[in-house]
């Protein structure tokens, strides 16, 4: 392994491409392998054991490709097994969690809506995060499984339908911010900013990417070359959609 070794980035499917996009914007000189597990999507309705088994298989696959770090571009997979993966592999493993802290630090008594998968919202990791903030803020959690499916099934361009689905997950009360606690949901950020301009839309992608950059810097692992992206998927038919989704964010 050396500075030009790739960074492995994975998700339960194609949502993590939004994280890959931020990674490439911030560190274009790096070589990336993005692995989408679309064959086993969604993770949000699976058990911890099922998700962990898939994550170990994906990380073993990355290790065979000599990656220098792994980004779990999936809040659900992070809640299920980030600690176990960190024990199992000696390279840096970067996880993700809903950016609730960012929303709460905006001010006192914030009204915050958190969208994530059912799994993320019922896991201990999120319950512990809520405990830190719920005394001072009003936090409402909503699981949004359809928003994962729309990305996997390439329906983002059906804007009217997308807006209907997004509206169905917006409660009637007012909120200061909406935390996108699933990487699939970041694809809706620009539509949401137009639909609900008074609500601040927050995602965890930049925080995650900056964290990786710090770790690579500390370990003298930053690359200086040209940079590249390889898309892999457990469903070969999703490779062209992966590239389209990456372009969609440009």
Omega before 72 within 30 of 0, i.e. cis: no
| Interface with ligand DGL (CB under 6 A), residue from 34, 35, 43, 231 | 43
Q: Does 11 interact with ligand DGL (rule: CB under 6 A)? A: yes
φ/ψ region of 227 (left if φ > 0, alpha if ψ in -120 to 50, else beta) reads left
Whether 144 is catalytic is: no
State the DSSP string of 191-209: HHHHHSTTSEEEESHHHHH
Which one of 55, 74, 81, 104 is the catalytic residue? 74
Span of 35-43, 124-132, 154-162, 188-196 interacting with ligand DGL by CB under 6 A: 35-43
Q: Does 22 interact with ligand DGL (rule: CB under 6 A)? A: no
Q: Does 179 interact with ligand DGL (rule: CB under 6 A)? A: no
Q: Does 242 interact with ligand DGL (rule: CB under 6 A)? A: no
Tokens of 76: 């659900």
Per-residue contact flags (x/-) with ligand DGL for residues 121 to 160, judged by CB under 6 A: ---------------------------x------------
Separation in Å, CA 38 to CA 25, 42, 195, 236, 238: 24, 8, 29, 9, 7
Q: For the chain, count helices (H), then strands (E).
A: 11, 9
Tokens 């914030």 correspond to 110
Q: Return the closest-CA partner of residue 206 out of 111, 102, 121.
A: 102
Q: 126 with 98: CB under 8 angstroms?
A: yes
Q: How many other CB atoms are found less than 10 A from the CB of residue 235?
A: 15
- Minimum distance of ligand DGL from residue 46's CB (angstroms): 8
- Count of positions (residues) in the chain: 250
Cβ closer to ligand DGL: 6 or 15? 15
| Interface with ligand DGL (CB under 6 A), residue from 22, 75, 233, 234 | 75
C-beta nearest to ligand DGL: residue: 44
Whether 74 is catalytic is: yes
Tokens of 18: 């939004």
What is the footprint of ligand DGL within residues 204-223 (CB under 6 A)?
A: none
Span of 37-45, 55-63, 106-114, 236-244 interacting with ligand DGL by CB under 6 A: 37-45
What is the footprint of ligand DGL within residues 98-117 (CB under 6 A)?
A: 117
Contacts to ligand DGL by CB under 6 A: 11-13, 15, 41-44, 74-76, 117, 120, 148, 182-184
Which residues are tagged catalytic?
Answer: 74, 182
């Amino acid at each position: 392994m050396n500075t030009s070794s790739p960074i492995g980035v994975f998700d339960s499917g194609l949502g993590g491409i939004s994280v890959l996009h931020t990674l490439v914007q911030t560190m274009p000189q790096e070589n990336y392998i993005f692995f989408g597990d679309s064959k086993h999507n969604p993770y949000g309705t699976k058990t911890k054991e099922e998700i962990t088994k898939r994550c170990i298989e994906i990380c073993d696959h990355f290790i065979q490709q000599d990656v220098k770090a792994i980004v779990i571009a999936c809040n659900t997979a992070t809640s299920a097994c980030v600690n176990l993966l960190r024990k199992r592999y000696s390279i840096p493993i970067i996880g993700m969690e809903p950016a609730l802290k960012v929303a709460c630090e905006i001010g006192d008594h914030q009204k915050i809506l958190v969208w994530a998968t059912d799994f993320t919202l019922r896991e201990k990791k999120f319950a512990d995060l809520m405990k830190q903030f719920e005394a001072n803020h009003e936090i409402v959690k909503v699981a949004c499984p359809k928003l994962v499916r729309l990305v996997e099934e390439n329906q983002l361009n059906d804007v009217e339908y997308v807006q209907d689905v997004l509206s169905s997950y917006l409660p009637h009360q007012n909120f200061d911010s909406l935390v996108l606690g699933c990487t699939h949901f970041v694809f809706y950020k620009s539509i949401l900013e137009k639909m609900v301009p008074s609500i601040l839309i927050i995602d965890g992608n930049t925080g995650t990417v900056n964290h990786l950059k710090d770790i690579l810097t500390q370990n003298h692992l930053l690359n200086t070359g040209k940079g590249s992206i390889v898309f892999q998927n457990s469903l070969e038919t999703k490779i062209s959609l992966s590239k389209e989704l990456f372009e969609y964010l440009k």
